[in-house]
Each structure stands twice: as C-alpha cells, then as structure tokens.
Structure 1
Amino acid sequence: MRFVLASQSPARLGVLRAAGIDPVVRVSGVDEDAVAAGLVDPAPEALVVALAEAKVRAVLADIAVEHPEAVVVGCDSMLHFDGEMVGKPGSPGVAAERWRRMAGRSGDLLTGHTVVRLAGGEVVGTASAAETTTVHFDSPTPAEVDAYVATGEPLQVAGAFTLDGLGGWFVRRIEGDPSSVIGISLPLTRALLTEVGVSVTDLWR
C-alpha cells in the first residue's frame, strides 16, 4: 500500500519523511480561492476540510490507476486571526501588513485533513477532520519584518509564517500540535488512517 500526498508542500513532505514515510507526491493544482468561494459562510474547520477534500478529489482518478492499493492524504492550512481566515499572502505588501497586525498577538492555525483509502482502485474508506493549534507571535522589529518578507518565505505559506523555518524566530510559543502548524498533523493523520482501517506502522519505510 502506498501513501500518496496530494500536496506540493515541502514542509509536509519533510514531516512525513522524518516520521518514517516516503510518500508518492501528486500536486493537485486545486484553485483554493474558487473552492472557498463556492462555500456558503463555512465555519473555519469546514473551510480547511473542504479544501483538503478538494485536493484529494483532484488526484484520485489518476492515483486509482497508478496505485490501486493506496491511501491518499490531502491537507490545507489557514490562520484564523482577527475573526477572518487568511491563507497565503502572495505578495510582500500583504505579508508585511499581516506581520504588523500579528506582532505580539495570537491566532489559531487550522489544518484540514482528508484521507481516502483505495483497494483495487476503488474507494473503500474516507475520513476527514481538522486540527487547531494556537500560535502566539513575538514582536519582530520593522526591520526584522522587512528582512523576513524579503526572503520570500512567508509569501507562500498560510498565515505568512513558518514554525520550522525562518519564521520560527518570531513565534513565541504554541498550544497544540506542532506538526499541524508545519502542515500535517501526525496524530490526526494516524487517527484518520485508523478510521479507514490502516495502521500507520504498516506504512513506515
């Protein structure tokens, strides 16, 4: 049985490899904004789960042919801050503005997870859930924010920060699962695998 990661995130891939799994990587190419726009006033957890499900659905047909015995895992993260859900800033100006707002404050990083099990190329189990971790941000100086944004790192990550990269210098502490903040919750993924009848230890390299 193969573990398929429906994500291009190097951080998620790194978490899985460090935890004993060498996944097949398939980039979904999902238009996250379009998926979100199609939902009617979703709760934060429902939004990230819907995005994770969309990523899995986008690769499922091809995976069923290539790897008929597999578990396909999709994840999506967003930061719930100041009453709104924010994803990747995409531009230096947006990233810098977010950091000016987040400095010295806290937000909830939500990661939606979907696991689909294939047997004989057919879907035989599906499980989804979200993990929420509270992130307490430090107060970087304006010069530090500018330097961080200039690296490009915060532009393509949820909430404009990382825990396992340069952004870790500006995170004071977290309450919850650190792997979920990086992009994929190991405890939650294990629980969802169990729901579809798969033991994570059988997937270790």
Structure 2
Amino acid sequence: MTGPLRLLLASASPARLAVLRAAGVQPLVQVSGVDEEATLAAAEAQHGPLAAADVALLLARAKADDVAHRLAGGDEGPAADLLLGCDSVLELDGEVHGKPADAAEAQARWRRMRGRSGVLHTGHWLLDLRPRGQGGSGGTLGATASTLVHFAELSDAEVAAYVATGEPLRVAGAFTLDGLGGPYVRGIEGDPGTVVGVSLPLLRDLLGELGLAWHDLRERA
C-alpha cells in the first residue's frame, strides 16, 4: 500500500473531524441529506419503539447509506476507500434526546440533566467502497459505543449562560465534553471519544472485521 486508505466521513460534525485528525487520520467529508426525524419515525412505525443505542445506529447507517447511494448514482463527491456514518443521542430516564429544537428546550433539558447521569450513545456505520479487484470486501457493518456521563449541579444562571452561547443547540444531548460544556461534566465512565462523536477503539474494531488495521488509515510520518 503506497498511502493511507481514504476515509469519507458522512457527518458535518467538526468535533468528529477533529478527533480523527488528532489520531492521524485526514478524512474527506460529505454531509448526508438524511431527515433524522422522518427516518426514525419510519423505523418505529415498522418495528415499534427503538432503544437509544439502536436509534444511534439506525441514524448512523442512514447517513452512510445516503452518501453511498448518491456516490453510486453518479453524484459528484470525493473518491474514497471507506465510508463512515456516525450519529449520537443522549439517553436520560429511558428517553432519547438529540439536538434541542430551541433554547427553551435546551434549558429545560439541562434543568433535568444537572446533578444526574445519562448515557451518550454514538452509532458507527462503516462501508468498504473499494472495488473487489483492489482488495475491497463489499463489507458493511456497524456498532454503537456507549459512555456514562455524570453532569454537574448547575445553577439556573449557569444553565441560562451556557444555553446563551448557542453551543447546546448544535450538539446531541445539548452538551459537549471538548468545548464550552466541559466544565459542566463531572466525569465519564467509558470512552471519551464516544461523547465527542466518534469512538476510535470501536472504529479500530470495525476496521479489523474488514481485515484492515488502524494504521491503514493513518497518515504516514
């Protein structure tokens, strides 16, 4: 192999991109056009209510498949060897939460979250796009990583000030670990990458199932 495999990330998340880059991977990016609410509603109409971990995996697969279908249909896009879709949701009291719809919802959610714990689930769906004549397997597989998050006991003023930054409206669960929300997380149990948006250990495992190694993605020194 003369260079690293080209990974295409089907996500607009700058945090996911930053995690991969920090680990030596330089992904290409193509954002999917998936309507998350419609996709989830259609799945639950067919299968009934889904567990939070399954919701994350469903949406990750939908994003990866959407980009793959567009590329296969001739849409312009970057040439890639592998395609990764990811999606994150927060589970609190058995309920599934993505991005808040507005500031009022973000504040209400933080008033529920503060001083408590929730589980952040990140689904990963990986597709091997390489032609079989070039070592491709045609494989498609996925899994969900889950991390327990302990939230600090915020005052009403702290909740309002954090929501006013706008950050909680842009991220699943209405918080970040690696951004402005970091001071409001007391601790985690599990992989921090899962909370940020992509679990590197899980991605390594998925690559292994395709017969690939992590260093096949990493930029050479």
TM-score, normalization: structure 2? 0.88
Q: Alpha carbons of 1:129 and 1:139: their partners in 2 closer, same or farther (altered >3 Å)?
A: same
Q: Residue in 2 aligned with 1:162? A: 176
Distance in 1 between the 2:171 and 2:80 partners? 31
Q: Residue in 1 aligned with 2:64? A: 56
Q: Residue in 2 aligned with 1:11? A: 15
- Matched residue SS, 1:96: helix
2:51 paired with 1:43: yes
Q: Residue in 1 aligned with 2:193? A: 179
Q: CA contact under 8 A between 1:68 and 1:118: conserved in structure 2? A: no
2:76 paired with 1:76: no
- Matched residue SS, 1:21: coil
Q: CA contact under 8 A between 2:7 and 2:80: conserved in structure 1? A: no
Distance in 2 between the 1:125 and 1:142 partners? 49
Distance in 2 between the 1:126 and 1:92 partners? 38
Deviation at 1:120, TM superposition (A): 2.0
Match for 1:195: what amino acid?
E
Deviation at 1:200, TM superposition (A): 1.4
Distance in 1 between the 2:169 and 2:210 partners? 35
Q: CA contact under 8 A between 1:104 and 1:136: conserved in structure 2? A: yes
2:135 paired with 1:119: no
Distance in 1 between the 2:80 and 2:111 partners? 47
Q: CA contact under 8 A between 2:89 and 2:173: conserved in structure 1? A: yes
- Matched residue SS, 2:60: helix
Structure 1: runs of 5 or more not aligned:
none
- Matched residue SS, 1:144: helix
- Matched residue SS, 2:115: coil
Distance in 1 between the 2:171 and 2:116 partners? 19
Task: Tell me which stretches of 4 or more aligned residues in structure 1 moved more than 6 Å.
Answer: none
Deviation at 1:90, TM superposition (A): 2.5
Q: Residue in 1 aligned with 2:107? A: 96
| Cα offsets for 1:31-63 (capped at 9, x unmatched) | 111111012211222211110000001111344
Distance in 1 between the 2:10 and 2:82 partners? 10
| Cα offsets for 1:8-28 (capped at 9, x unmatched) | 000000000001000000000
Q: CA contact under 8 A between 1:190 and 1:200: conserved in structure 2? A: yes
Q: CA contact under 8 A between 1:68 and 1:119: conserved in structure 2? A: no
The structure richer in strand per residue is 1
Match for 2:51: what amino acid?
A
Distance in 2 between the 1:13 and 1:31 partners? 21
Distance in 1 between the 2:205 and 2:70 partners? 25
Aligned residues: 205
Deviation at 1:123, TM superposition (A): 6.6
Percent identical among aligned pairs is: 53
Deviation at 1:67, TM superposition (A): 5.6
Q: Alpha carbons of 1:8 and 1:123: their partners in 2 closer, same or farther (altered >3 Å)?
A: farther
Structure 2: runs of 5 or more not aligned:
none
Largest Rg, 1 or 2: 2
Q: CA contact under 8 A between 2:8 and 2:80: conserved in structure 1? A: no
Distance in 2 between the 1:56 and 1:170 partners? 32
TM-score, normalization: structure 1? 0.95
